[in-house]
């Protein structure tokens, strides 16, 4: 599945169970692999590195869970 990163911002994230999870506020790219690694729910304010890392794990969806991208993003499982 090929999608432009800019197309992901603001999309609704829906679990395969049908539950609404949130909206994409930030996209995390793994530079070494050249691929999206996580979709963050909401925006992260510039600040301390530890705070950003904590937010990444607390309020994100691993991109490998993405099953389909249309008007919204369908992810496997529930969150």
* pTM of the entire predicted model: 0.81
Number of domains in the chain: 1
CATH code assigned at 11: 2.30.30.240
Q: What is the pLDDT of residues 9-56, one digit of tens each?
A: 999 999 999 999 999 998 989 999 989 999 998 776 666 667 767 767
Q: Which domain holds residue 66?
A: 5-75
Angle at 8 between CA 64 and CA 56, to 5 degrees: 55
């Amino acid at each position: 599945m090929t999608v432009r990163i800019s197309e992901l911002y603001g999309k609704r994230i829906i679990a395969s169970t049908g539950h609404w999870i949130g909206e994409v506020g930030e996209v995390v790219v793994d530079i070494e692999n050249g691929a999206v690694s996580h979709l963050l729910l909401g925006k992260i304010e510039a600040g301390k590195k530890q705070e950003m890392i904590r937010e990444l794990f607390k309020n994100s969806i691993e991109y490998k869970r993405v099953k389909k991208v249309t008007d919204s993003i369908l992810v496997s499982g529930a969150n």
